[in-house]
Chains A and B, each alone.
Chain A
Amino acid sequence: MTPEVALADERALAEKFWRHGDESAFRALYRRQTPLLYRVAYRMVANADRADDIVQDTWLRAAQGLPSFRWQSSLSTWLVGIVVNRSREEIRRTPNEVLAQDELPEPPARDQDPWQRLDLERAIAQLPEGYREILLLHDVEGYTHEEIAQALEIEASTSRSQLARARAAMRVSLEQRMDGPHDT
């Protein structure tokens, strides 16, 4: 399926959903988009329950906002913008630091490769929120800076500069994890 066909298909499903309240159309959209939305939400707030709530609210907001969505970006890009905004609200309410250490799995022992998945997850979780969302969207989910700019309503140049800082911060965090917390 070409991107153009996929977009047309998504638009047809979305219209079927919001015009007629069609459940099967909604479920099709949900199944396509939610894996991405959940990953972003989970990594933004580092908590499965909160990620559930965020994804649920994201779909509710999307359902209410679909009539005004102009389709100048993909549905996915638009939804990602909503999920990031909703995640920011959640973090304002309860900062991640309160939960993150309990929620994330234990990292591997210090002699393992710091790029092991769990260490990487923790390093991302500890990034400042603004860095974290850009790094997640660009380096993990493969969004371009232009798509991130659309989703988050920022300039593409801002996305680029934030990403550079995010990567640098992540490397520092990983090095600290090697040198610090596991030394006894």
Chain B
Amino acid sequence: MTRDTDDQLNPEEHEKLRGLSRGPESPSGLEQRVVDSLRSRGLLASRARRHFHWTWAVASVTAGVFCFGAGVLFGSRGVATAPKPAGNQYVLLLTNSSSVATSGAPQEIALVQEYSAWAQRQRLAGRLIAGEKLNDASLELSGSQGLQEVHTQDTSLGGYFVIAAPSLDAAIAIARTCPHLKRGGTIVIRPIDPTSEQHDP
């Protein structure tokens, strides 16, 4: 082998080094792991949602909210102790909108953080009772027609929060602060009729 005395590669060196670009190959399972990782962070649409990205967008937001909601707000991770929610209960139904739909996946990370911060504030203030993301799979059961599948585009409900508030006006005021509105979503507020189990002291 001829060795260059300057910093130029001789043809043999050049060939050997360029030959390294033929390997090593990436592991075959890595692609799926990357896809799963992106999907778990809301950066890829799930298979069921792929054709209805507006639904997926809101769902990924609510998924993030409730990931934080369930894991941090109601979990046992040592966050600050919140007062027990008291008062009348209201369900906030989070529905989709076209403006939320146009968000790109990366922006949804910021959305999730915004929702999470809101949920955290409600929890620490003793106003948040529960929250869940709703799966896209919908079935409709009726006495006359039996069980029918409801197509994703026919449903706009992405998730819900259950909050406690002293009055409907107070519940509306809480809902007004939810970032879902600022992002173009709609919130349906429904009072929950009290039952003895719900309001046991």
Quick check: A67 and B104 within 8 Å, CB to CB?
A: yes
A140 interface residue, CB < 8 Å from B? yes
Q: How large is the interface on A (under 10, 10 to 19, 20 to 34, 35 or more residues)?
A: 35 or more
Quick check: B106 and A64 within 8 Å, CB to CB?
A: yes
B23 to chain A, nearest CB (A): 7
Quick check: A139 and B18 within 8 Å, CB to CB?
A: yes
Quick check: A60 and B105 within 8 Å, CB to CB?
A: no
Chain B 36-58, CB-CB to A under 8 Å as 1, else 0, gives 01110111110100100100100
B26 interface residue, CB < 8 Å from A? yes
Chain A interface main SS type: helix
Binds B, one of A3-11, A144-152, A164-172: A164-172
Q: How large is the interface on B (under 10, 10 to 19, 20 to 34, 35 or more residues)?
A: 35 or more
Quick check: A59 and B21 within 8 Å, CB to CB?
A: no
- A163-B21 contact in complex given A18-B105, A23-B44, A60-B41, C-beta closer than 8 Å: no
B9 interface residue, CB < 8 Å from A? yes
- A64-B109 contact in complex given A21-B53, A22-B45, A23-B45, C-beta closer than 8 Å: yes
Contacts from A to B (Cβ < 8 Å) = 17-23, 26-27, 30-31, 34-35, 37-39, 42-43, 48, 52, 55-56, 59-60, 63-67, 113-115, 117, 120-121, 124, 135, 139-142, 163-164, 167-168, 171
Listed by A's residue number, 14 A-B pairs whose Cβ atoms lie within 8 Å are A19-B105, A34-B30, A35-B25, A38-B24, A38-B25, A38-B26, A52-B33, A56-B37, A65-B106, A67-B104, A113-B1, A115-B12, A117-B19, A139-B18
